[in-house]
A and B are shown apart, each in its own frame.
Chain A
Amino acid sequence: MSALPRIRVKPLTWTPHLAPVEIDDATPAQLAAMQVTPSAKKISPYVRTLAHDPESYVARTTLFNAIMYVEGGLPRQDRELGALSASLLNGCRYCANVHARQHAKLSGASEVIAAIWTGQMEKLDDRDAAIIDLAESLTCTPPVAETAQIARLKAAGMNEVEIIDLIHAIAIFGWANRLMHTLGHS
């Protein structure tokens, strides 16, 4: 078995296919959705692209933040691993890049990312392998996840509340990837 290489994932830049909302032309609802204030006028192209539909932008962002950052339950690095696995399968390079870096930062180690990047899945521990297994089987269309995947997570020490958190982290990237990848390029 070869040793895992040291991996440092470099950030990517995202560019929309469609013209984003310009702050000077934005409606009051769009400005409120983007949380534009006199001291915060610099809004990313991604946010300005989605702000064309301010109602869905606000609702989705609220849900996304709850799923990825709510306290308690599943450790954040595990949510990031679910997000990363979904993004890889959905072909969203930008999201995979962001969430690989988040996972490395939160876990304080890059071995998991190195194992995934180099296809050495046998080097993952049971818990990480079980997370990736659920993420992949839930992300494909139609989803093919079975109770065996749930049993595998429970055997790795995950309780029902944590599994509910993981299901949501995987599923919200079934949403986010379908915006980030389809509405722009990196």
Chain B
Amino acid sequence: MNKMSPSRPARDADAMDRAAGLNPRGAIFAARAGRPEFVDGAEACRVAVLSPQDDLGLSLPLRQAIARRAALSSGNPRLIAGYPAPDDAALSALAEGDTPTTPREAALARHTDLIAHEPGRSTAQDLEQLQEAGLSVAQVIAVSELLAYVCFEVRVAHGLALLEDAS
């Protein structure tokens, strides 16, 4: 049974609440607060993969474009909206699921689609292609964490949205 909804939300809505479409006055929004480690931890991860203090040479707009492309795999418009469409034309194709014309963005687009849809088919060659497109080892790691974070977010948001529907 659900508890009485609080008259005022106990915390501000974050990216995960918005991606899941949680009502800030609803039972699932309140239940999330029962696991502050998950709420704070997921938000700290979002910052660490999108806007870290040391960006390792991968700009915020580039990271947002990669994240948006990975988010397209969710089919969840609320989650996709959490990653703004870039102004930059070169990044736009990457972000919107098209085929970029610049080599680095083309390699990132290919890798993003592979990791989002078929991670089990990834091989050492896929990492070599990123390096051939100019990414350093540290940048390959940072991109891997960013892509995998979005895939985590997609699944938490989907599950929380189901709980909201079922409550």
Give the B-binding residues of A (Cβ under 8 A). 17-19, 29, 49-50, 52-53, 55-60, 62-63, 66-67, 70, 73, 90-92, 134, 138-139, 141-143, 145-147, 149-151, 154, 160-161, 163-165, 167-168, 170-172, 174-179, 181-183, 185
Chain B residues with a Cβ under 8 A of chain A: 27-28, 31-32, 34-35, 37-38, 41-42, 44-45, 47-49, 52-54, 56, 73-76, 115-122, 124, 126-127, 137-138, 140-142, 144-149, 151-156, 158-160, 162-163, 165-167
Q: List 9 A-B pairs, Cβ < 8 Å.
A: A17-B124, A50-B145, A150-B166, A164-B38, A171-B152, A175-B149, A175-B152, A181-B119, A181-B120
A17-B75 Cα distance, complex, nearest whole Å: 31
B44 near A63 with CB under 8 A, answer yes
Hey, which chain A residues are within 8 Å of B148, CB to CB? Answer: 174-176, 178-179
**Residues of A with C-beta under 8 A to B142:** 52-53, 56
CB of B60 to closest CB in A, whole Å: 14
With beta carbons under 8 angstroms apart, the residue of A18, A154, A177 that contacts B140 is A18
Residues in B with CB closer than 8 Å to A154 are: 166
Do residues B119 and A160 form an inter-chain contact, with CB atoms below 8 A? Answer: no
Interface of B is mostly: helix
Q: Is there contact, CB below 8 Å, between A50 and B165?
A: no
Are B44 and A142 touching (Cβ within 8 A)?
no
Q: B31 to A161, Cβ gap below 8 A?
A: yes
Q: Complex: how many Å from CA A19 to CA B128?
A: 12
Best-buried of A29, A63, A138, A177 by chain B (most CB within 10 Å): A63
Of A53, A172, A176, the residue contacting B138 (CB under 8 A) is: A53
Residues on A with beta carbons closer than 8 Å to the beta carbon of B117: 141
- Chain A residues with Cβ below 8 Å from B140 are 18
Chain A residue nearest to B56 in the complex (CB) = A53
Q: How far is the CA of A137 from the CA of B142 in the complex (A)?
A: 28
**Cβ distance A57 to chain B, nearest Cβ, rounded Å:** 8
| Contact, CB under 8 Å: B38 / A138 | no
A29 x B54 contact (CB < 8 A): yes
Expressed in whole angstroms, the minimum distance between the Cβ of A20 and any Cβ of chain B is 9
Q: Which residue of B lies closest to A168 (CB)?
A: B38
Q: Which of A50, A70, A164 contacts B160 (CB 8 A)?
A: A164
| A178 / chain B contacts, CB cutoff of 8 Å | 115, 119, 144, 147-148, 151
Contact of B155 among A17, A167, A179, A182 (CB under 8 A): A167
Q: Judge whether A183 and B127 touch: CB under 8 Å.
A: yes
Partner of B165, one of A147, A160, A163, A185: A147
